[in-house]
């Protein structure tokens, strides 16, 4: 089944199969949020889901939600946070040109957004999980999910954990989406599954006025009085798009996404005149932890040089390894610091001496010896003036044998998804290159470029997907 | 004067001011090539130039043209080259996902393209200029203008200089464009200056069928029977677009472009449904040479570590410094290797010892000492196993005093222009996200993403601009 041209003129629609105020395309976390919010504002909503049930990539994710500014969970766990500190962190972490207005709203309204999840039945256990950044194996509700506690961010904003995790052991995305989808079921919104939105209907004067979707083998034109909200995921599983737009990600082995993360939502929006931004960026996780004690090792590149503080968030480490080090990285440990990593990882080399290890890793003669000697000299004093790793993880590596875990993209797990997509206003309106909103067209989630591309922290995708999904749903509902 | 919506429906055009087979928008090197080629294929051509005369950024450039495969100039200068070696170099240098089809054609037809320049009167003196990569101060006609002779590329393809420079001392872009514009003047094509193309006229069935341009204060609709060729430059002088699409470039001080490199051509193409690619990439020159002897120094980053072979092309060095080292770089020299750089550059620090210099540069204690000690150990044997700098430039740096030239983006010259733009077919057709050609719409030059983003070599922009400009002009002419 070939794809038709992604827009169709309203004049060419013979008759509408049905009408609604808001049509939501895709029912992952962003689409569920848009649906709930629009329905909550008395809009008649039709949500189209391409799979046989909602959930999308959100349901297969760790379920971490980036929330802060002083949520109940943060307070009960004894962490002080404020919208201003959250704002400062996200502004510092989110690349050279962060979206200040979006980050401001995301931070200022984060406590209210947390309460929205609670109101819809998402449970959070107010226990902080300290052993890992990212989704905990326990049902604990709060983790560090970015580099808040690592240099340079701990100098810029007061660190606070902001990864909020629904209460279930391990991967929590399933519970999150079950809960949100149950709320959708209870709402007046209509959900149509196995419905593939293939075209946006564009009226010359009124903008986007509906969609054409394939449902049960037939094309249905569905009119949207208020707007269409594209929440159809990213493009990590569209090989051609990745090759064209984010070629660095091709070297990463593990793609986080469903088969429907094929960029269809982005392409629909582009065809209607939407601009894309940050298309080259991805979330790239290189989990050198757990256990966190492995951060006592040093990460070196293909020249045996360090390139980052090893206690930075694994998303930041992955970005640096891929974009700056050509995917070449080894985690060097000694007999005292070695532990079996919980993420399966090959041993790239061992040696009775550093020189032996260096040779086994194929590093230039003297390079690793030089790096380690300098590192150890400072580590004797508990210092890391090169990259400012936190003192808890700074110990000399001087007990043979030495070994290195393989953290190259060629041989180890890098989990990626795309962060580029449609550019939107804080109300979720899809914008043209000239900055105008396209009437009737909204987007949220990974169909858009989120607030942290680059500089991803876990939970930001579900965080901004739901946050700006809600705003889009509300704006479209009011527009009807 | 605000900009109207960048497309207008053909039905809304009351009457056409005039008609032509091919309308070319912008008269830099790409537009001149498209104009000449279309006119040479018996098409009636109207070329619209926004300035009061043609030339654009090409006229203000060094005028280097990337050509090879065995041109007369290369042969007379004693260099052996072939399309296959040129292809191998460009494929290796042009990032993780080079455009193989375009690079293949660009390499295979390069000798013929060289002859096209000669036929149009561009003079080349068959003398190789060895002292510098980039435009020579003399009127010599051939230079290395990429990293052909540096690691790793000298291991992948047989090195040959491919920077062809029109015969005039210093900046040769003026002569190049005078010559091409004289040829345009002699052709039957009509040139309209002070003509600002503000809209593409789109017919629902026939695609792009013309333009609306502002000429002498009035809007004129010009019909294009064959096609419109957008050759309106890049977006380096559109601050918002740079911030949004290539934020890393904001830190670079010197922007190579006219005021009309404001992305208008790219935005016209996007509004008609064209896809953009490589928008984050720029050509970033950090000229640490001339004199070339300065390559005997070592470039270190903010952690006092080397990050590249210093004999790589200055465009490659600039890319690495900006994208990978946050714009922090110092060129470290000793008393024996120091020479005054020809590009004005501050001295960032001096010291009787390496330790003193290190402190003065604000580098972590021990870092530069460690880097230099390892470098010198290998350099004693004339080797550089870390980055494989060519042996001519590998000497121990051990004669005090030591000094460092400031190569940070904050304090030194980085010359940039944008390399992202519309995605086109090898015939210059503007492509949609789904890979379909937009009927009647073509683009070339920096309105498109060229063949070397990333991995720029000087001369590629004029090289691919004219090469694919010609192909676009020819294709549009045949389509009428």
Q: Are residues B296 and B390 in the same domain?
A: yes
Alpha-carbon distance A77 to nearest alpha carbon in chain B (angstroms): 37
Q: Are residues B396 and B422 in the same domain?
A: no
Alpha-carbon distance A419 to nearest alpha carbon in chain B (angstroms): 13
Q: Do B367 and A378 touch (CB under 8 A)?
A: no
Q: Do A251 and B96 touch (CB under 8 A)?
A: yes
pLDDT at A354 (0 to 100): 98
Question: Mean pLDDT, to the nearest integer, of B196-215?
Answer: 96
- Confirm whether B475 is domain-assigned: yes
Q: Are residues B195 and B243 in the same domain?
A: yes
- Confirm whether A2 is domain-assigned: no
Q: Are residues B302 and B445 in the same domain?
A: no
Of A109, A137, A170, at which residue does a domain stop? A170
CB-based contacts of A69: which residues, under 8 Å, 6+ apart? Answer: A81, A82, A83, A85, A86, A107, A108, A110, A111
Q: Which two tokens stand for residue B63?
A: 């005028």
Q: Do B374 and A386 touch (CB under 8 A)?
A: no
- Confirm whether B1 is domain-assigned: no
B14 touches A: beta carbon within 8 Å: no
Q: Are strands B195-203 and B7-9 parallel, antiparallel or unpaired?
A: parallel
A366 touches B: beta carbon within 8 Å: yes
- Confirm whether A13 is domain-assigned: yes
Domain that holds residue B339: 287-406
**B306, B373, B385 ranked by CB distance to A365: nearest:** B385
Q: Are residues B198 and B56 in the same domain?
A: yes
8 A C-beta contact, residue A22 and residue A476 = yes
8 A C-beta contact, residue B197 and residue B8 = no
Q: Which two tokens stand for residue A419?
A: 């962060």
Buried b (16+ CB within 10 A) or exposed e, B176-206: bbbbbbebbeebebebbeebbbbbbbbeeee
- Confirm whether A1 is domain-assigned: no
Is the Cα torsion angle B458, B461, B467, B468 positive or negative in sign?
positive
Q: What would the 3-class secondary structure string for A311-326 be?
A: CCCHHHHHHHHHHHHC
Of B136, B170, B204, at which residue does a domain stop? B170
pLDDT at A346 (0 to 100): 95
Rounded to an integer, what distance in angstroms lies between the CA atom of residue B142 and that of residue B32?
23
Question: Mean pLDDT, to the nearest integer, of B32-44?
Answer: 98
Q: Are residues B109 and B165 in the same domain?
A: yes
pLDDT tens digits, residue range B413-444? Answer: 999 999 999 999 999 999 999 899 999 999 99
Residue B455 has pLDDT above 90, yes or no: no
B376 touches A: beta carbon within 8 Å: no
8 A C-beta contact, residue B145 and residue B313 = yes
Alpha-carbon distance B398 to nearest alpha carbon in chain A (angstroms): 18
Question: Mean pLDDT, to the nearest integer, of B123-130?
Answer: 96
pLDDT at B2 (0 to 100): 64
Q: Are residues A197 and A319 in the same domain?
A: no
Is the Cα torsion angle B469, B472, B475, B479 positive or negative in sign?
negative
**A278, A323, A385 ranked by CB distance to B365: nearest:** A385
Q: What would the 3-class secondary structure string for B43-83 be?
A: CCEEEECCCCCCCHHHHCCCCCEECCCCCHHHHHCCCCCCH
Q: Are strands B282-285 and B330-333 parallel, antiparallel or unpaired?
A: unpaired
pLDDT tens digits, residue range B94-126? Answer: 999 999 999 999 999 999 999 999 999 999 999
Q: Which two tokens stand for residue B23?
A: 């309308």
Q: What is the CATH number of the domain that holds A44?
A: 3.50.50.60
Q: Are residues A42 and A11 in the same domain?
A: yes
Of A406, A438, A460, at which residue does a domain stop? A406
A380 touches B: beta carbon within 8 Å: no
Residue B207 has pLDDT above 70, yes or no: yes
B contacts of A419 (beta carbons < 8 Å) = none
Q: Are residues B240 and B386 in the same domain?
A: no
8 A C-beta contact, residue A213 and residue A56 = no
Q: Do A434 and B248 touch (CB under 8 A)?
A: no
Q: Do A244 and B271 touch (CB under 8 A)?
A: no
Rounded to an integer, what distance in angstroms lies between the CA atom of residue B135 and that of residue B101?
28
Strand, coil or helix: what is B353? coil
Residue B327 has pLDDT above 70, yes or no: yes
- DSSP characters over A146-179: SSTTSTTHHHHS-----EE-BSSSS--HHHHHHH
CB-based contacts of A469: which residues, under 8 Å, 6+ apart? Answer: A29, A30, A31, A32, A33, A34, A37, A229, A231, A428, A444, A445
- Confirm whether B2 is domain-assigned: no
User: Which residue blocks in A5-109 are alpha helix, DSSP H?
Assistant: 29-40, 56-59, 72-76, 83-93, 100-108
Q: Do A279 and B275 touch (CB under 8 A)?
A: no
Q: Are residues B300 and B423 in the same domain?
A: no
pLDDT at A464 (0 to 100): 97
pLDDT at A31 (0 to 100): 98
8 A C-beta contact, residue B48 and residue B195 = yes
Mutate to test the interface with B, among A96, A329, A430 (most CBs of B within 10 A): A96
Strands (E), B166-217: 190-192, 195-203, 207-215
Rounded to an integer, what distance in angstroms lies between the CA atom of residue B273 and that of residue B432?
6
Q: Do B385 and A373 touch (CB under 8 A)?
A: no
Q: Do A267 and B433 touch (CB under 8 A)?
A: yes
Prediction pTM value: 0.95
Scan for tokens 């949220």, then name that residue.
A444
Nearest CA in chain B to A246: B278
pLDDT per residue rounded down to tens, chain A (480 residues): 467 888 999 999 999 999 999 999 999 999 999 999 999 999 999 999 999 999 999 999 999 999 999 999 999 999 999 999 999 999 999 999 999 999 999 999 999 999 999 999 999 999 999 987 678 889 999 999 999 999 999 999 999 999 999 999 989 999 999 999 999 999 999 999 999 999 999 998 899 999 999 998 899 999 999 999 999 999 999 999 999 999 999 999 899 999 999 999 999 999 999 999 999 999 999 999 889 999 999 999 999 999 999 999 999 999 999 999 999 999 999 999 999 998 889 999 999 999 999 999 999 999 999 999 999 999 999 999 999 999 999 999 999 999 999 999 999 999 999 999 999 999 999 999 989 999 999 999 999 998 988 888 999 999 999 999 999 999 999 998
Number of domains in chain A: 3
8 A C-beta contact, residue B16 and residue B163 = no
- Confirm whether A387 is domain-assigned: yes
Rounded to an integer, what distance in angstroms lies between the CA atom of residue A265 and that of residue A211?
12
Rounded to an integer, what distance in angstroms lies between the CA atom of residue B389 and that of residue B316?
14
What values do phi and psi take at A441, rounded to 5? -120, 125
Q: Are residues B359 and B256 in the same domain?
A: no
B54 touches A: beta carbon within 8 Å: no
8 A C-beta contact, residue B421 and residue B252 = no
Q: Are residues B252 and B269 in the same domain?
A: yes
A contacts of B424 (beta carbons < 8 Å) = none
- How many H helices and E strands in chain B? 15, 21
Q: What is the CATH number of the domain that holds A294?
A: 3.90.700.10
């Amino acid at each position: 089944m070939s794809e038709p041209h992604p827009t169709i003129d309203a004049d060419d629609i013979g008759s509408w199969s049905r009408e609604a105020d808001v049509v939501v395309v895709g029912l992952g976390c962003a689409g569920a949020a848009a649906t709930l919010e629009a329905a909550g504002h008395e809009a008649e909503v039709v949500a189209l889901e391409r799979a046989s049930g909602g959930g999308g990539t959100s349901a297969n994710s760790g379920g971490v939600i980036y929330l802060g500014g002083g949520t109940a969970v943060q307070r009960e766990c004894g962490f002080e946070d404020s919208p201003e500190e959250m704002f400062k962190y996200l502004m510092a972490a989110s690349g050279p040109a962060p979206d200040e207005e979006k980050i401001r709203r995301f931070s200022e309204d984060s406590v209210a957004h947390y309460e929205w999840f609670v109101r819809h039945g998402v449970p959070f256990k107010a226990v902080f999980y300290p052993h890992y950044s990212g989704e905990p194996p326990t049902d604990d509700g709060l983790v560090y999910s970015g580099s808040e506690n690592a240099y340079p961010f701990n100098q810029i904003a007061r660190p606070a954990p902001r990864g909020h995790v629904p209460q279930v052991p391990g991967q929590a995305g399933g519970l999150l989406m079950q809960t949100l989808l149950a709320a959708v079921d209870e709402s007046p919104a209509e959900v149509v599954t196995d419905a593939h939105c293939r075209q946006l209907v564009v009226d010359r004067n009124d903008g986007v006025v509906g969609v054409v979707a394939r449902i049960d083998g037939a094309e249905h034109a569905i009119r949207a009085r208020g707007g269409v909200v594209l929440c159809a995921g990213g493009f990590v599983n569209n090989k051609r798009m990745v090759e064209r737009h984010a070629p660095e990600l091709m070297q990463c082995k593990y793609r986080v996404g469903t088969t429907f993360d094929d960029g269809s939502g982005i392409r629909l929006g582009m065809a209607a005149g939407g601009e894309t931004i940050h298309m080259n960026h991805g979330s790239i996780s290189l989990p050198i932890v757990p256990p966190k004690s492995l951060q006592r090792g040093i990460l070196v590149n293909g020249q045996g040089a360090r390139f980052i503080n090893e206690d930075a968030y694994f998303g930041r480490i992955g970005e640096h390894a891929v974009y700056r080090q050509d995917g070449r990285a080894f985690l060097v440990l000694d007999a005292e610091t070695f532990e079996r990593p919980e993420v399966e990882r090959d041993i790239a080399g061992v040696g009775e001496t550093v020189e032996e290890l260096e040779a086994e890793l194929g590093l230039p003669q003297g390079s690793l010896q030089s790096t380690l000697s300098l590192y150890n000299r400072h580590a004797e004093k508990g210092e890391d003036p090169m990259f400012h790793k936190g003192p808890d993880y700074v110990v000399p590596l001087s007990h043979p044998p030495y070994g290195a875990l393989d953290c190259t993209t060629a041989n180890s797990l890098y989990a990626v998804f795309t962060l580029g997509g449609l550019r939107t206003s804080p109300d979720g309106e899809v914008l043209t290159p000239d900055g105008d909103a396209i009437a009737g067209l909204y987007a949220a989630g990974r169909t858009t470029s989120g607030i942290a591309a680059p500089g991803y922290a876990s939970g930001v995708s579900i965080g901004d997907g739901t946050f700006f999904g809600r705003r889009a749903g509300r704006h479209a509902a009011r527009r009807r």
